[in-house]
Chain A
Amino acid sequence: QKEVEQDPGPLSVPEGAIVSLNCTYSNSAFQYFMWYRQYSRKGPELLMYTYSSGNKEDGRFTAQVDKSSKYISLFIRDSQPSDSATYLCAMCRSEKLVFGKGTKLTVNP
């Protein structure tokens, strides 16, 4: 079993939809949880960073962490075509990040 599992999609939604992206993990040693957005052939861009269970909101993005279930989510409200990208979850253990495979999202105008 991989440490971090993420459905690679692809996921296609109409503009304005609410998008839900999820990851599960197996290692309870993970303490910090991040979501990155990566456009094609670019480096990952940090979207959200959390270190505790609960919700964190930033504009149209909400990150949710449930440590008891080892489950994290990213919600995107009012999705835009510019949100079309690959979304990577990442978890920090001993200073290094362990990433999911990424979910490829397309938002159709």
Chain B
Amino acid sequence: DTGVSQDPRHKITKRGQNVTFRCDPISEHNRLYWYRQTLGQGPEFLTYFQNEAQLEKSRLLSDRFSAERPKGSFSTLEIQRTEQGDSAMYLCASSFGRERVTYEQYFGPGTRLTVT
């Protein structure tokens, strides 16, 4: 399978715990994006990387959230001190992009987080 993969698919955690999600993009894609989707809403942009550089972060990404993409391959999204409001589907997408040109973004299956 050469699509975007995410791990784990489901995560249940208690409030206050830290969680980390992993995303493996399509291999030739240099851009990687994180989105969050709550029930009944479309996905909302969180952050994106071009290669290993994090180029933009949304205001939705509070200080408790951190994302990395070491070596420009897979990415991790960590949430510290989780809150019930963090419960959502976390989606990763990847694309190939050049300066001022954006191509299609392909999404992974998502990680569903439930904070109890």
- A42 near B110: Cβ-Cβ < 8 Å: yes
Residue numbers in B under 8 Å from A4 (CB-CB): 42
B41 contacts chain A at the CB level, 8 A cutoff = yes
**Which of the four size classes fits the interface of chain A?**
20 to 34
B103 contact set on A, CB distance < 8 A: 49
Query: Which residues in A have their C-beta under 8 angstroms from that of B106?
Result: 46
A interface: dominant SS: strand
A44 with B104: CB separation less than 8 A: no
B37 to chain A, nearest CB (A): 8
Given A96-B48, A100-B42, A102-B42: A43 and B108 interface contact (C-beta under 8 Å): yes
The answer to the question of B107 belonging to the interface, with a C-beta cut-off of 8 Å to chain A, is yes
- At the interface with chain B, which of A55-63, A73-81, A86-94? A86-94
Decide yes or no whether B85 CB sits under 8 A from chain A: no
Partner of B105, one of A94, A97, A100: A97
Q: Is there an interface contact between A101 and B110, defined as CB atoms closer than 8 Å?
A: no
Q: Which residues of chain A have C-beta atoms less than 8 A from B45's C-beta?
A: 96-98
Q: How far is the CA of A43 from the CA of B26 in the complex (A)?
A: 15
A95 pairs with B107, CB closer than 8 A: no
Is the CB–CB distance between A43 and B97 below 8 Å?
no
- B32-60: CB near A (< 8 Å → 1, else 0) gives 01010000111111001000000110000
- Asked if B112 CB lies within 8 Å of chain A CBs, one says yes
Residues of chain B within 8 A of A42, CB atoms compared = 109-110
Instruction: Check: B102 CB closer than 8 A to any chain A CB.
Output: yes
**Residues in B neighbouring A36, C-beta threshold 8 A:** 107
A32 close to B (CB within 8 Å)? yes
A34-B105, A97-B93, A101-B41 known; 10 new pairs, CB 8 Å cut-off, are A6-B42, A42-B110, A43-B108, A46-B104, A49-B104, A88-B42, A88-B43, A96-B45, A99-B43, A102-B41
